Amino acid sequence: MDETQPQSIGELIRRTLAVGEKSSAAQLAGYQRSQLEHLLRFAHARAPYYKQRLAPLFGKGGGIDWSQWPRIPILTRADVKANGPEMMSGGTPDGHGFARSVASSGTTGMPVTVHSTDLMSVAGALAFERACRWYGYQNGDRICVALNTPQIESLNRETWAVGDEVTGGLTGNLSAHRLGVSRSWPPEIILSHMKQHVSVCFSGNSTTVEDVAEAQLQRDLDIQIKFMVGKSMALTERARTLVRRAFKSKAYSVYSSMEAHKIAHECPVSGGFHVNSELVVVEIVDDAGRPCTGGETGRVIVTPLLGTAQPLIRYEQGDLAAWGKPCSCGRPHPVIARIEGRIRNRFQFAGGHKFIPAIGFEPYRDLLKADQWQVAQTGPLAIEVRFISAAPDDAIDFAGLTRVLAKSFHKDLSVSYRRMDMLPRTAAGKFIDYVNEFDARSDILPN
Ligand SMILES: [Zn+2]
């Protein structure tokens, strides 16, 4: 081990991640438990919500009674919505940076706001960089990252140059060699920037990975790509095949969320997902809250270890997953065999092509005042918006949301609204935020 003092907490995390992958499974589990203990003590002492909730863990003598851990109630999105301010710690430890609010609707259609820290972003980026090294990334490689930040949208896609988009902060080598592009640009434009600036890796939404690979198959630019990484939804078989054919390279998936950042990365050897145990505790439990074993599918429960602004202790992520066997690659991190996260159907309206709807959850939260929502295509030019909301009709901007939807999907779109007490799920219990009930053959993208 390197004995020199790390320069910063970010550098410390980089080293921790490097040591982590060379550890034994037992050493890694021991490290994780020590980090969890820090977080539990901090949350118990600082966040009012956890004072009673975590009390069973703190026995006589000052130690932690780990036998009580499975009895700590699972934290739902509804809990966070109702009690978010009580979960705040009122200040983060030195080096964790500022608390920033991030909002997501996750895979359940229920928008929720949580507070993250700068350090969580840095650690997530470093874990991503570690996974990129598994896929062949080397120092100096330039990685093209497709973003949708206001900063990137303000750039002119013709005159833009490398470096324009780089934001500050310590995120390791990878950010220093980042080529930021907008994911709203046509895939041919993204490809030509990658060729011009010799970018040999790509990271973006899984649908963008698919579109860029498809564009390359049509254009056949002289371009070398080591690997592509798809996030947000799982890569489809079609996307993986397109990347293989277009670039003679491979595409990998990330399992991440706004609340827990980078949870797990696909293993290039087995195709399973290695949990970033240094950063997050992942549990998979059945409906009764018991740990799942032997490939049984259950609910994913996460505890982000660096979540000091607003600790999320045993938070239900909203995905279903199953554990896999230890991996032959030798990495000690537990393996998730499969993740059934976001499912979203493609829509297709009269005269248009098939597309995956993605307009964010903000219009539903802000205009519809929805606690939960689902959009169904019900005809060639018709959708139905189903929603749960405590707001009365006269507090809801139906016309405003209809305008947003028509602008995004089709100018002649007919939109109807239906209040519900519960939103429909699939036979397997999964929630689909955009569901195509008009064309049952529409592609389903399992995650
Ligand atoms: Zn592996």
The yes-or-no verdict on residue 445 having pLDDT over 60 is: no
Distance 327 CA to ligand 1 centre (A): 5
Which residues form the domain of 239? 1-341
Same domain, 414 and 285: no
Distance 338 CA to ligand 1 centre (A): 13
Distance 25 CA to ligand 1 centre (A): 13
**CA 58, 308, 121 angle in degrees (round to 5)?**
145
Q: What is the mean pLDDT of residues 39-44?
A: 97
> From the centroid of its chain, how far is CA 28?
23
Are the C-beta atoms of residues 384 and 424 closer than 8 Å to each other? no
Distance 329 CA to ligand 1 centre (A): 4
CATH number at residue 99: 3.40.50.12780
- DSSP letter at 265 equals E
Same domain, 320 and 380: no
Distance 342 CA to ligand 1 centre (A): 23
* Burial (CB count <10 Å: 0-12, 13-18, 19+), residue 382: middle
Same domain, 158 and 289: yes
Distance 340 CA to ligand 1 centre (A): 19
Residue at 9 is within a domain: yes
CA 336, CA 292: separation in Å to the nearest integer? Answer: 12
Number of domains in the chain: 2
Q: What is the pLDDT of residues 399-426, one digit of tens each?
A: 999 999 999 999 999 999 999 999 888 7
CATH number at residue 371: 3.30.300
Residues in the chain: 447
Lowest mean pLDDT among 148-152, 323-327, 334-338, 433-437: 148-152
Q: What is the pLDDT of residues 159-197, one digit of tens each?
A: 555 554 444 333 455 566 778 888 888 899 999 989 988
Same domain, 197 and 308: yes
**What predicted TM-score, i.e. pTM, was given to this entire model?**
0.83
Tell me the average pLDDT of the chain.
Answer: 87
Same domain, 24 and 115: yes
Q: What is the pLDDT of residues 354-404, one digit of tens each?
A: 777 878 888 999 999 998 899 999 999 999 999 999 999 999 999 999 999
Residue at 355 is within a domain: no
- Residue scoring higher pLDDT (250 or 198): 250
Residue at 347 is within a domain: no
Same domain, 317 and 393: no
Distance 266 CA to ligand 1 centre (A): 8
Residue at 16 is within a domain: yes
Distance 259 CA to ligand 1 centre (A): 25
Same domain, 132 and 38: yes
User: Around Cβ 250, how many Cβ atoms within 10 Å?
Assistant: 17
Q: Of 341, 371, 398, at which residue does a domain stop?
A: 341
pLDDT at 267: 97
